[in-house]
């Protein structure tokens, strides 16, 4: 009969709002803003959904294994150059493959749609608390009584910090400086934004020698450990400083104690390897500077992606498990092995040298260790080798010219934080290049 076709329709029900991470609910009536913040509740998955996710993770792992086998085969070809220019920290990849389930993120389509969290802010309070816990576990930064601001990587925060520290006087702009060799982005960003309130003036030591009695306003980048050479830098001018601590983690340098500076910047990429997630944070002592940095981020992007913040939260939760030992022992051992093997190759060379490393006591590992920087800072020792990058390129090794870091091109930077395949190819090329000097070195 026509009136009896099909099953009776069920009354539609409102779907439950999902939640992946716990966050404290706050009375929304206390906040005024344009959009209604979403109410976050505990999110649980049905067994059939859990199985489906597990099946997909398994597929991804199988595809990843196939990809690595293919990549290894590809890189074994003799005509491939070792590209060590980018700072992609993908050497963490095996660790995260072993923690695929714990670090995975599932977000329903209707989840986290509002600009703001329930407390009216654009920054996850739970993530902020885990960042504080991370620094407490590692012992590399003081966070008590400090403010934290999120940014799109540390890159955005670097310029936000310059903006916040500048005098705001266009008739007498603040002078931005760094000690050579320094990270190219300091100059590139300052010049690109072309602000009337600040200008890039180059090397701190050169500027100081020419302005011994000058009381002009200065902002100094202090990169510690330094990019490209891994040195633990200290301020030269003693004025307003921005501490770039991107590499201040136990796998790159011994942690002597917590950094206690007015403005410190960290990045997820060199902590966990997730450079593409684009997440960084600043730890700030002064409330006025914090407000200016926060305003910069708000004006530029209306805050950081909530999906990004959720992923970072999952990653940092894994990072602090076991007081951080699983992650940092993996990453340190990986970097130590690379430096041991690299040092052996360069010890056989009279044409090329790398930076000296000095042992320091590490409070995190409770023992004295050598630093294991993210990059090898290579120098061509022969007088006729004016362009070290060109010399290495002749040996099918592609690095970054010293002039990019405002020093002579006798230097070049080689990345040691790429995949194992990339490192093995780099070591093979270096061995071949050094062996041409006297033929005494064999592949290790």
Tokens of residue 56, six digits: 């997909």
pLDDT reported for residue 296:
96
Higher pLDDT, 13 or 27: 13
Number of other residues whose CB lies within 10 A of the CB of residue 67: 10
Mean pLDDT of the chain: 85
User: 399 burial class (0-12, 13-18, 19+ CB within 10 angstroms)?
Assistant: buried
Q: Quick check: helix, strand or coil at residue 255?
A: coil
Lowest mean pLDDT: which of 151-160, 175-184, 200-209, 212-221?
A: 212-221
Question: Angle formed by the axes of helices 47-75 and 420-438, to 10°?
Answer: 20
Using the predicted structure, report yes or no on whether residue 105 has a pLDDT greater than 80. Answer: yes
| Mean pLDDT of the 280-308 span | 96
Give me the percent of the chain exceeding a pLDDT of 70.
Answer: 78
| Mean pLDDT of the 32-44 span | 42
Using the predicted structure, report yes or no on whether residue 36 has a pLDDT greater than 60. Answer: no
Contacts (Cβ under 8 Å, ≥6 apart) of 398: 81, 82, 83, 84, 85, 389, 392
pLDDT reported for residue 86:
65
Using the predicted structure, report yes or no on whether residue 37 has a pLDDT greater than 80. Answer: no
Residue in this structure with the two tokens 């307003």, named with its chain if needed: 240
Using the predicted structure, report yes or no on whether residue 71 has a pLDDT greater than 80. Answer: no
- Does residue 413 contact residue 228 with C-beta atoms inside 8 Å? yes
CA 256/CA 50 separation, integer angstroms: 43
pTM over the 0.85 mark: no
| Mean pLDDT of the 11-19 span | 44
Q: Please state which CATH class domain 325-442 belongs to.
A: alpha beta
Concatenating the DSSP letter of every residue in 390-417 gives HHHHHTTEE-EEGGGGTS-TTEEEEE--
- What φ, ψ does residue 279 adopt, rounded to 5°? -145, 135
Using the predicted structure, report yes or no on whether residue 16 has a pLDDT greater than 50. Answer: no
Lowest mean pLDDT: which of 27-31, 205-209, 230-234, 311-315?
A: 27-31
Q: Which CATH number fits domain 125-322: 3.40.640.10, 3.40.50.720, 3.40.50.150, 2.40.30.10?
A: 3.40.640.10
- What φ, ψ does residue 240 adopt, rounded to 5°? -75, 130
The boundaries of every CATH 3.40.640.10 domain in the chain are 125-322
Torsion of CA 271, 345, 409, 384, to 10 degrees: 180
pLDDT in tens, 127-164: 999 999 999 999 999 999 999 999 999 999 999 999 99
Q: Where does the pLDDT of residue 168 fall: very low under 50, low under 70, confident under 90, or very high at 90 and above?
A: confident
The boundaries of every CATH 3.90.1150.10 domain in the chain are 325-442
3-state class percentages of the chain: helix first, strand second, coil last, to nearest 5 = 40, 15, 45
pLDDT reported for residue 1:
44
CA 164/CA 298 separation, integer angstroms: 13
Lowest mean pLDDT: which of 1-10, 27-36, 416-425?
A: 27-36
How far, rounded to the nearest angstrom, does the alpha carbon of residue 41 sit from its chain's CA centroid? 31
């Amino acid at each position: 009969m026509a009136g009896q076709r099909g099953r009776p329709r069920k009354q539609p029900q409102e779907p439950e709002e999902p939640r992946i991470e716990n966050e404290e609910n706050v009375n929304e009536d206390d906040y005024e803003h344009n959009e209604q913040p979403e109410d976050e509740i505990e999110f649980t998955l049905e067994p059939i959904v859990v199985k489906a996710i597990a099946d997909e993770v398994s597929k991804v792992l199988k595809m990843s294994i196939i990809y690595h086998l293919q990549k290894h085969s590809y890189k074994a070809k003799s005509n491939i150059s070792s590209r060590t220019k980018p700072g992609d920290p993908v050497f963490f990849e095996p660790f995260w493959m072993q923690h695929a389930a714990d670090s995975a993120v599932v977000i329903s389509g209707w989840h986290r749609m509002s600009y703001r969290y329930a407390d009216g802010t654009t920054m996850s309070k739970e993530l902020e608390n885990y960042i504080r816990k991370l620094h407490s576990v590692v012992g590399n930064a003081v966070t008590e009584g400090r403010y934290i601001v999120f940014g799109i990587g540390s890159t955005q925060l670097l310029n936000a910090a310059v903006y916040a520290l500048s005098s705001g006087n266009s008739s007498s702009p603040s002078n931005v400086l760094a000690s050579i060799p320094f990270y190219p982005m300091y100059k590139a960003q300052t010049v690109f934004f072309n602000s009337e309130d600040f200008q890039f003036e180059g090397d701190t030591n050169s500027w100081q020698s020419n302005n011994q009695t000058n009381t002009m306003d200065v902002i100094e980048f202090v990169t510690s450990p330094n990019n490209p050479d891994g040195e633990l830098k200290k301020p030269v001018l003693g004025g307003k400083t921005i501490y770039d601590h991107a590499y201040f983690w136990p796998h790159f340098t011994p942690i002597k104690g917590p950094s206690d500076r007015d403005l410190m910047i960290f990045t997820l990429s060199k902590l966990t390897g997730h450079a593409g997630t684009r997440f960084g944070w600043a730890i700030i002592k002064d409330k006025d500077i914090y407000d200016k940095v926060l305003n910069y981020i708000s004006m530029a992007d209306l805050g950081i992606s909530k999906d990004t913040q959720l992923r970072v939260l999952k990653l940092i939760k894994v990072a602090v498990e076991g007081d951080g030992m699983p992650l940092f022992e993996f990453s340190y051992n990986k970097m130590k092995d690379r430096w041991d093997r690299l040092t052996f190759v360069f010890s056989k060379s009279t044409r090329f040298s790398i930076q000296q490393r000095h042992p320091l006591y590490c409070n995190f590992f409770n023992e004295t260790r050598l630093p294991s920087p993210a990059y090898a800072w290579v120098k061509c020792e022969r007088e006729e080798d004016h362009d070290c990058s060109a010399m290495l390129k002749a040996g099918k090794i592609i690095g970054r010219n010293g002039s990019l870091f405002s020093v002579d091109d006798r230097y070049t930077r080689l990345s040691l934080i790429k995949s194992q395949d990339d490192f093995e190819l780099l070591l093979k090329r270096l061995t071949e290049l050094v062996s041409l000097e006297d033929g005494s070195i064999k592949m290790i």
